[in-house]
Chains A and B, each alone.
Chain A
Amino acid sequence: MPKSFNNNMLSLQHISKYYQNGPNKAYVINDLSLDIEEGEFVSIMGPSGSGKSTLLNIIGMLDAPTDGYHYFIDQPVHQLKEKQRSALYKQYIGFVFQAYHLIDELTVYENIETPLIYQDIKGSERKALVADMLDRFGIVGKKDLFPSQLSGGQQQLVGVARALISKPKLLLADEPTGNLNSKQGEEIMELFRKLNKEDGVTIVQVTHSEKNAQYGSRIINLLDGRIESSITL
């Protein structure tokens, strides 16, 4: 049985994911192995359809691979039950999406607060944590607005704030700047760098932008579900 390494955040070993397409298997991820250490900032690049989102979702336990071994902080994820997996996820992982994915019915404040509610954190503590986060992202004035009343960049700030509120060890971001203009994109990237450097948050982002990829410490190029190259900066 393959082993995991001690300061590894996560380890994927011989991971495959395919969809049955009639008699054929359509591989999206094909026998891929990848280790990410704590404190890394990894950028995943590759052409559309190469399996970037799928890989990120597998890392984030939103999707399950068809084959292979998946360790997360020494836990064999591939052996865990749904419940344990979601507990692990809840405790350690934050997600940021290209389309922001805020809940339309909730205000900025409530969107950021919701992960804390799911973690059964007390009301008074929640209040303090959310207030901190609003302050840190400079969106205190927007706290009672609904997502539809914000610009794209502001929405993504809320998205990041929401992902960070539960103090995740691993932040996963799927094209976080894809819908933003370059100035807004830069802001988010600066934020990521700071998080990585100052708070030690491990980050894995998918990006199409060469420039944004440079913020990371490693760039992984994906092609047809395989790692084509891995460059440490």
Chain B
Amino acid sequence: MLKNYFKTAWRSIMRQKVFTMINVTGLAIGISAALVIYMIAVYDFSFDSFHPKRDKIYHVVTNFTFSGVPYKNGGVTSPLGGVIKNEIAGITEAAPFYIANDDTKITVPDGTATPLNLKKQDKVVYADARYFNIFQYKWLAGEAKTALSTPYKVVLTQKQAELYFPRLTPAQVIGRKVIYNDTVNTVVTGVVENLPGNTDFVFHDFISFSSMGVALSADQQKYNQRWDNTTSASQLFVVLDDKATVANIEAQLEKLQKKYDPNNGKDFNGTQDFKLQPLKDIHFNSEYATFNYRTANLTTLYGLLAIAAFLLVLGCINFINLTTAQAVNRAKEIGIRKTIGGNRKQIIVQFLSETFLITVFAVLVSIALVPLILKFFTGFIPEDITVGMLKETSIIIFLILLSVIVCLLSGFYPAMVLSGYKPVSVLKNQTHAGTGKTRNAWLRKSLTVTQFVIAQFFIMATILVSKQISYTLNKDLGFKQDAVLFVNTPWRENNADKKQVFVNKLKSFPQIENISIGSTPPSSAGYNTTSVKYIDGKKEIKTDLQLKNGDENYINVYKIKLLAGRNITKSDTTQMMINETYLHTLGFKKPEQAIGKFIEHGDTKDMVIGVVNDFYSASLHSPIKPLAIVPAWKYNNYVVHVALKPKTEGGGEWKKAIAQIQAAWKEVYPEYDIDYGFVDESIAKFYESEQRMSKLLAWSTGLSVFISCLGLLGLAIYTTGQRTKEIGIRKVLGSSVRQIVSLLSKELVLLVILAFVIVTPLAWWAMHKWIENFAEHTAISWWVFALGGLAMLLTAIITLSFQTVKAAMANPVKSLRSE
């Protein structure tokens, strides 16, 4: 029976090649989007799903508030790791480990004068058997219990061992030497297989935990013994027993913290709480960061799924519209099938098999498109996602389910309509009469309007997002962003003299206008905040104050204006320049009033010596907050800020200047690679997620407009076909081509306009929601909507004109004779 259905289906598909192509293309776009997005979802949800105790493993993290502002840290105070298992009931295992700095230098001596030397290495940790108890690795050499029991031992992953010792087997690697940061001389005591699935646990050098005592600086070690110091380097994972609940453990942790750190919170005017983060949350939570750097974003994933769903719906709508529009052409066949004994169910099945065949085509096209999509969206799609994933059972099941859903979604209604025809009326040629046809026409119109609501929504959203991006990038941030370079000097060699030597060398280059040493540029991703107090005689004003460190040239390099008082000078130590926002927070109207006042923080008092204009210290997502610029030499500052002279015609000077800076670097810091960037580029990076969103929206827009226009074209082909005779008569009666084109386009164009009326308030509402994410944002101008609507209308008219002009130009005599 099915074979017969497919045979008929195949023939009717082949008879209507254009419609089939429109249907397949529309569906294939939606299906391939859904497929790739599903692959991303499968990939992201597969992370760390293979650990034997995965449901019981938790990451201990710290939630702070500083003066009410929440702040999250993926690390814990180091001493917690040592006591948690003994003092908290319900924890069966605890594994503290410590992540080494991400510019670890690794040397693998091989007896020659030029040993393997790797700079800026990351993913090196200090760990021990406790880590390997929770996260089970396969040991190729050595054993978990003893490998890291004493200082100066290291366990490598298989891949890392192959990198260090290319020709040796795991067993042969045991006993070899690896040196970290020139000082930590370790012996390899174990080689483990890399974890078998997708994982965020990507460490590859495990130095024994007890080596930290010698490896870390005295300062750092001191900090690591304190209960009031938290660093994200200090990690802690625990395994709960079957009876323990997260709430109970967290309550116990609160008590534990009170016991060891009774002053907690009072010292920084806030709160600090230990929390348990489930293992499966790690890959999706950027607030605590992963060790793999890339976190997946559930919101983005849902956004992508929504886009795929919209594209699918658009494709299905095309199918429904084109099929019901042509239903009349198939009415006779249905009438006959019913008179020779076909019942409604059998006819529904027949049409669904036809739909299914088209869906299968679309799926095949989608599969063929996957490699192209992966290639095109590299950078957006994680690179581990490959065509090979298509062979995975879960993907195959997804495709089958998707085909069935798409098939039902697009095929069910047409099948109901077609199978509902009464054979008598069909055979008497009465299908045009009755309510059936008008109901279908009404549905078709609603669906077409829906398509254009979706398409115009995407267009308008794209316009607004680009408008906001260009606003943020062009907004005056209150300082000079272009033609400024920053060079990060190695913090490990934080030697004031060397820095000065480097700066002095730069000073001699003609292309360089000005140089400053300080902390981060005025706008930066991270910031340094401290709580401060000002007593104005009667009342005390307590606030958080952001700190930027700079020398006497900082405000000159960035062209920050001094509104009152004076700039920092070389002799200043306990002085500060404040911004206008802080000035107003303190209750002063004029900048001059603040000069000479004292701001207390901790045990020290700083005098306000100057007031500078407000500038944005982070992305435009956050508003300007109270801020002070304090003398650079008070803190260890390692960023050299370089203002370049304007580029001239040709613009070769900057290249030359950069080459000179690089040469100077090599002389001063031969051990290190230079790390520099342009300030405006680093600011553009704040908006990476918006840029990505913009790119994605542009694609969604293009595709949704394309699918909708395909559908429009299909409807136009159908209606002009229906009206060939009418067009012929009108032409004979003297209608111009233009009149006929407008007659044919009028109805569909009206639908596009109706869609515009519907989508505008929806889009306006969504835009308001989105733009609330920005403290500073562009206006949602009327022309965003007008432009979106107009763009759609023009595209629709051009699309329609392909068909309508052809129909209007046709020789009327021919069409009338053939009737």
Least CB distance, B705 to chain A, in whole angstroms:
35
A90 surroundings in chain B (CB, below 8 A) = 341, 343
> Closest residue to B343 on the A side, CB-wise?
A86
How many A residues, CB 8 Å from partner?
29
Count chain B residues whose beta carbon lies closer than 8 angstroms to a beta carbon of A. 24
B423 interfacial contact with A, CB 8 Å: yes
Residue from B15, B337, B341, B422 in contact with A119 in the complex, judged by beta carbons closer than 8 Å: B341
Closest-by-CB residue of A relative to B5 is: A117
B336 x A166 contact (CB < 8 A) = no
Compute how far the CA of A123 lies from the CA of B1 in the bound complex, rounded to whole angstroms.
8
The residue of chain B having its C-beta at the shortest distance from the C-beta of A163 within the complex is B340
Contacts of A118 in B (CB 8 A): 337, 340-343, 346
Shortest Cβ distance from residue B562 to the other chain A in the assembled complex, whole angstroms? 86
* A92-133 Cβ-contact flags toward B at 8 Å (1 or 0): 000101000111111000100111011110000000000000
| Complex partner residue of B8 from A63, A86, A105, A119, CB under 8 angstroms | A105
Q: Chain A contacts of B333 at CB under 8 A? A: 103-105
Chain A residues within an 8 Å CB radius of B424: 57, 62-63
**CB-based contact B336/A101 at 8 Å:** yes
State whether the Cβ of B12 lies closer than 8 Å to any Cβ in chain A. Answer: yes
Interface membership of B427, Cβ < 8 A: yes
Instruction: Please give, as numbers and ranges, the residues of chain B lying within 8 Å of A62 by CB-CB distance.
Output: 338-339, 422-424, 427
Question: Out of B1, B343, B427, which one reaches A101, CB within 8 Å?
Answer: B427
- B336 — which chain A residues lie within 8 A by C-beta? 101-103
- Closest chain A residue to B1 by CB distance? A117
A86 to B347 Cα, complex, angstroms = 13
Is A162's CB within 8 Å of the partner chain B? yes
Identify which of B11, B341, B422, B427 contacts A115 (C-beta below 8 A): B341
Q: Is the CB of B340 within 8 A of A162?
A: yes
Q: A13–B651 Cα gap in the complex (Å)?
A: 102
B332 on interface, CB distance cutoff 8 Å: yes
Determine if B4 is an interface residue (Cβ-Cβ < 8 Å): yes
Smallest Cβ-Cβ distance to A98: which chain B residue: B427
Bound-state CA distance A104–B346 (Å) is: 19
Contact: B332 with A101, CB < 8 Å? yes
Name the residue on A nearest B9 (C-beta). A105
Question: A89–B341 contact, CB under 8 A?
Answer: yes
Contact A95 B15 (CB under 8 A): no
**Neighbouring B residues of A114 by C-beta, 8 Å:** 4, 337, 340, 342
Which residues of chain B from 420 to 441 have a CB within 8 Å of any chain A CB? 422-424, 427-428
B12 touches A105 (CB 8 A): yes
Cα distance A104–B11 in the bound complex, in angstroms: 10
User: Considering the complex, which residues of chain A in the window 161-187 have a beta carbon less than 8 Å from any beta carbon of chain B?
Assistant: 162-163, 166
Q: Tell me the complex Cα distance, A167–B7, Å.
A: 25
Measured between beta carbons, the chain B residues less than 8 angstroms from A25 are none
CA distance A62 to B343 in the complex (A): 12
Shortest A46–chain B CB gap in Å is: 17
- Residue ID in chain B nearest A95 by CB atoms: B339
Interface residues of B in 326-356 (CB under 8 A from A): 332-333, 335-343, 346
Contacting residues, chain A, for B343 (C-beta < 8 A) = 83, 86-87, 90, 118
Shortest beta-carbon distance from A206 to chain B in Å: 13
Evaluate contact between A110 and B4: CB separation under 8 angstroms: yes
The CA of A63 and the CA of B335, in the complex, are separated in Å by 12
CA distance A58 to B4 in the complex (A): 30
**What are the residues of chain B within 8 A of A119 when measuring CB–CB?**
341
Q: What is the CB-to-nearest-CB distance from A176 to chain B, in angstroms, rounded to a whole number?
A: 14
Do the beta carbons of B340 and A95 come within 8 Å of each other?
yes
B339 and A117 form a contact (CB under 8 A):
no
Task: Kindly identify, within residues 200 to 228 of chain A, every residue whose CB is under 8 Å from any CB belonging to chain B.
Answer: none
B residues less than 8 Å from A60 (CB atoms): 339
Partner of A120, one of B1, B15, B332, B337: B1
Per-residue CB contact flags for chain A residues 6-30 toward chain B (1 = under 8 Å, else 0) read 0000000000000000000000000
Question: How long is the Cα–Cα vector from A211 to B172 in the complex, in angstroms?
Answer: 107
**Closest CB-CB distance, A173 to chain B, in whole Å?**
12
* A102 vs B336: C-alpha distance when bound (angstroms): 7
Please indicate the chain B residues that have their CB under 8 angstroms from the CB of A105 in the complex: 8, 11-12, 15, 333
> By CB atoms of chain A within 10 A, which of B7, B15, B427 has the most?
B427
Q: How far is the CB of A91 from chain B (nearest CB, A)?
A: 9
Closest chain B CB from A220 CB (angstroms)? 20
Residue of A nearest to B12 (CB): A105
Q: Which residue of B lies closest to A82 (CB)?
A: B344
Task: Give the Cβ gap from B790 to chain A, nearest Cβ, in Å.
Answer: 44
Contacts A105-B11, A114-B342 supplied; 15 other A-B pairs, CB < 8 Å: A57-B424, A62-B339, A90-B343, A95-B339, A101-B427, A102-B336, A103-B8, A103-B333, A103-B336, A103-B337, A105-B12, A105-B15, A113-B4, A115-B340, A118-B337
Binding site for A on B (CB under 8 A): 1, 4, 7-8, 11-12, 15, 332-333, 335-343, 346, 422-424, 427-428
Among all A-B residue pairs, the 10 with the closest Cβ atoms: A90-B341, A118-B341, A105-B11, A115-B340, A118-B342, A115-B341, A63-B424, A101-B336, A62-B424, A95-B339
Q: Can you pick out 11 interface pairs between chain A and chain B where the beta carbons lie within 8 Å of each other?
A: A62-B339, A86-B341, A89-B341, A95-B339, A101-B335, A105-B12, A106-B8, A110-B4, A114-B340, A118-B337, A163-B340
